[in-house]
């Protein structure tokens, strides 16, 4: 059984490495532009809660901007950044070159075309209604699906030509993620699922699996590669990683109905979703324990390395956010939290505290290896601390505010009372959100340094030293 990222490089030339580095860079740069755009919209949305009459134009209404924010963070920012990282990890851990550089670039163009077209469509008011995270009109989602299929093909092709005997754990997660998501995205487009209760069920299936079978496995794939590399030690347990992979696969797809508890969906389906939401503790705790045990005894390295600190926050975000999700799925707690801002807090604890921090850790750990250019210490610390403090304020304020909102509703207070009660927490969310946004500007500067700044080391393109783990 393979326990380390040890690869042979006989078949990889410098030209291949440069091609991989520029593609990884291009995915990261476009993703960063999407992060800036999407979260500028996020800040505007946050301020609209305090000043609803601010920016009232038809194109700037809450109803149009909200799905622009969610889709742009999901498909512009997180998806593009994760695919760029996945290509790098797949090629490096397999000790081979990319299956097709051309397909990689075509995928990049298609992902971006879909995100631009989707954004414009939503702002013009063309919105696929109540289908959360798939509000883009379906022809645009087809373009996204095409990009996904190309990416899946290219990643599988890369891993298939590996110079190692085993498939490294990261690639299990990555390939699992791209294949599952092709299925999920296809099911979400099929016309006969787009009405009635079937649509509700498919909505739960889609939106939960978008986070659970797309972002989560891709991020875990990065953890399994970047952590051993940053710490120069193998992952604590390869077997535990495989176990978490299969349990994730068995439990995750069935829990989507927990988004629609107390809805007309069959009661047994809701109960099944709750039971499997509890079962999710197995892969979540198993995976988190694996990462934390890999870091054990290395506190000194942790505090001296920002890439590791970003990853550490990501692991804690995964553990805490997902465990919180299990509790949210209980009927007794859903009674309080459903439809409240508590859920928005959970979304950002997971999509930001887990996914976004993990991407940053991966980019800071791996992009300098590809380009030989590193960000400055000040840029790293500013980014880290503003993002940590900002997101902490964001999540804590909405968790408290959302609970008060839910209790008001349970006690039958007039609706406007719940608005008055949560108002100060919305202001705090705006403060946290602004800090988060400022940290993204610093991140963009750091990406610039890692892509076009002065060289700090020889790009590992020639040395391949980035493979020597364990």
Cα separations (Å) of 401 from 295, 330, 340?
35, 20, 9
Kindly tell me which of 77 and 168 has the beta carbon lying closer to ligand HEM: 77
Q: DSSP 3-state helix, strand, coil percentages of the chain (rounded to 5)?
A: 80, 0, 20
Kindly tell me which of 32 and 294 has the beta carbon lying closer to ligand HEM: 32
As a whole number of angstroms, the distance between CA 27 and CA 83 comes to 7
Angle at 393 between CA 389 and CA 396, to 5 degrees: 130
Kindly tell me which of 168 and 318 has the beta carbon lying closer to ligand HEM: 318
Among 358, 419, 428, 424, CA closest to 392: 428
Query: Shortest distance, CB of residue 400 to ligand HEM, whole angstroms?
Result: 15
DSSP state of 413: -
- CA dihedral (146, 92, 317, 72) in degrees, to 10, reads -30
**Is residue 39 at the binding interface for ligand HEM, with CB under 6 A as the rule?**
yes
Query: Shortest distance, CB of residue 313 to ligand HEM, whole angstroms?
Result: 14
Kindly tell me which of 43 and 407 has the beta carbon lying closer to ligand HEM: 43
Kindly tell me which of 216 and 418 has the beta carbon lying closer to ligand HEM: 216
What does the per-residue mask of binding to ligand HEM show for 53-82, with x meaning CB under 6 A? -------------x--xx--x---xx----
**Which one of residues 92, 141, 162, 348 is an interface residue with ligand HEM (CB under 6 A)?**
348
CB-closest chain residue to ligand HEM: 325
Q: CB neighbours of 177 closer than 8 A, spacing ≥ 6?
A: 86, 213, 214, 216, 217, 218, 221
Binding range to ligand HEM, per CB under 6 A, among 88-96, 104-112, 195-203, 342-350: 342-350
Kindly tell me which of 117 and 278 has the beta carbon lying closer to ligand HEM: 278
Read off the tokens for 231: 């710490």
Read off the tokens for 246: 């299969």
**Is residue 265 at the binding interface for ligand HEM, with CB under 6 A as the rule?**
no
Query: Shortest distance, CB of residue 448 to ligand HEM, whole angstroms?
Result: 19
**Is residue 347 at the binding interface for ligand HEM, with CB under 6 A as the rule?**
yes
**Is residue 436 at the binding interface for ligand HEM, with CB under 6 A as the rule?**
yes
Kindly tell me which of 153 and 285 has the beta carbon lying closer to ligand HEM: 285
Supply the Cα-derived Rg of the chain in whole angstroms: 22
Binding range to ligand HEM, per CB under 6 A, among 102-110, 286-294, 327-335, 371-379: 327-335
Kindly tell me which of 337 and 425 has the beta carbon lying closer to ligand HEM: 337
**Which one of residues 343, 397, 399, 403 is an interface residue with ligand HEM (CB under 6 A)?**
343
Binding range to ligand HEM, per CB under 6 A, among 50-58, 143-151, 221-229, 347-355: 347-355
Phi-psi region of 232 (alpha: psi -120 to 50; beta: other; left: phi over 0): left
Among 164, 62, 115, CA closest to 467: 164
3-state secondary structure 211-250: HHHHHHHHHHHHHHHHHHHHHCCCCCCHHHHHHHHHHHHH
What does the per-residue mask of binding to ligand HEM show for 202-221, with x meaning CB under 6 A? -----x---x---xx-----
**Is residue 392 at the binding interface for ligand HEM, with CB under 6 A as the rule?**
no
Query: Shortest distance, CB of residue 5 to ligand HEM, whole angstroms?
Result: 25
Kindly tell me which of 45 and 145 has the beta carbon lying closer to ligand HEM: 45
**Is residue 42 at the binding interface for ligand HEM, with CB under 6 A as the rule?**
yes
Indicate if the alpha-carbon torsion angle 310, 151, 462, 225 is positive or negative: positive
Kindly tell me which of 229 and 440 has the beta carbon lying closer to ligand HEM: 440
Question: Which residues, numbered 394-433, are part of the site for ligand HEM (CB under 6 A)?
Answer: 433
**Which one of residues 244, 351, 363, 404 is an interface residue with ligand HEM (CB under 6 A)?**
351
As a whole number of angstroms, the distance between CA 174 and CA 389 comes to 30
Q: How many residues bind ligand HEM (CB under 6 A)?
A: 45
**Which one of residues 270, 277, 288, 403 is an interface residue with ligand HEM (CB under 6 A)?**
277
As a whole number of angstroms, the distance between CA 178 and CA 389 comes to 33
Query: Shortest distance, CB of residue 132 to ligand HEM, whole angstroms?
Result: 5
Q: How close are the terminal C-alpha atoms of the chain, in Å?
A: 14
As a whole number of angstroms, the distance between CA 342 and CA 409 comes to 13
Count of Cβ atoms closer than 10 Å to residue 432 Cβ: 21
Cα separations (Å) of 181 from 64, 187, 221?
26, 10, 15
**Which one of residues 28, 154, 270, 350 is an interface residue with ligand HEM (CB under 6 A)?**
350
Contact 231, 295 (CB under 8 A): yes
Binding site for ligand HEM (CB under 6 A): 39, 42-43, 45-46, 66, 69-70, 73, 77-78, 132, 207, 211, 215-216, 258-259, 277, 280, 284, 321-322, 325-326, 328-329, 334, 337-338, 341, 343-344, 346-348, 350-352, 354-356, 433, 436-437
């Amino acid at each position: 059984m393979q326990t380390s990222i040890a690869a042979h490089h006989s078949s990889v030339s410098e030209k291949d490495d440069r091609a991989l580095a520029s593609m990884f860079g291009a995915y990261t740069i476009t993703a960063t532009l999407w992060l800036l755009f999407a979260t500028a919209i996020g800040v505007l949305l946050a301020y609209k809660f305090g000043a609803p009459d601010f920016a009232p134009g038809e194109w700037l209404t809450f109803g149009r901007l909200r799905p622009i924010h969610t889709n742009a963070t999901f498909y512009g920012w997180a998806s593009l950044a994760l695919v760029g990282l996945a290509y790098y990890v797949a090629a490096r851990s397999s000790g081979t070159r990319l299956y097709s550089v051309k397909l990689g670039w075509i995928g990049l163009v298609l992902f971006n075309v879909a995100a631009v077209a989707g954004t414009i469509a939503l702002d013009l008011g063309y919105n696929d209604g109540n289908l959360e995270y798939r509000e883009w009109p379906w022809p645009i989602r087809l373009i996204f699906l095409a990009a996904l299929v190309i990416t899946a093909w290219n990643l599988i092709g890369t891993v298939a030509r590996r110079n190692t005997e085993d498939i490294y754990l990261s690639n299990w997660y990555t390939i699992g993620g791209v294949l599952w998501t092709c299925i999920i995205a296809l099911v979400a487009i099929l016309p006969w699922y787009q009405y009635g209760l079937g649509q509700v069920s498919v909505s739960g299936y889609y939106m939960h699996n978008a986070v659970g079978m797309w972002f989560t496995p891709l991020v875990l794939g990065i953890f399994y590669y970047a952590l051993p590399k940053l710490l120069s030690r193998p992952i604590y347990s390869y077997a535990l990683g495989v176990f978490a992979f299969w349990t994730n696969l068995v439990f995750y797809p069935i829990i989507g109905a927990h988004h629609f508890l107390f809805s007309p969906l069959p009661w047994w389906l809701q109960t099944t979703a709750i039971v499997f939401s509890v079962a999710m503790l197995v892969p979540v705790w198993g995976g988190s324990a694996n990462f934390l045990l890999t870091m054990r005894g290395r506190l000194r390295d942790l505090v001296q390395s920002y890439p590791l600190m970003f990853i550490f926050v990501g692991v804690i975000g995964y553990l805490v956010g997902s465990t919180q999700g299990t509790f949210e799925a209980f009927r007794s707690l859903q009674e309080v939290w459903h439809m409240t801002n508590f859920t928005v807090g959970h979304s950002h604890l997971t999509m930001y505290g887990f996914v976004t921090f993990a991407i940053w850790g991966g980019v800071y750990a791996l992009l300098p290896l590809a380009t030989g250019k590193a960000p400055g210490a000040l840029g790293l610390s500013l980014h880290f601390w503003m993002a940590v403090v900002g997101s902490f304020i964001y999540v804590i304020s909405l968790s408290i505010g959302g609970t008060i909102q839910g209790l008001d509703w349970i006690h039958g207070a007039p609706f406007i009372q719940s608005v008055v009660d949560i108002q100060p927490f919305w202001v705090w969310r705006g403060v946290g959100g602004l800090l988060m946004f400022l940290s993204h500007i610093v991140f963009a500067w750091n990406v610039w340094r890692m892509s076009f700044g002065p060289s700090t080391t020889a790009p590992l393109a020639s040395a391949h030293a980035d493979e020597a783990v364990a």
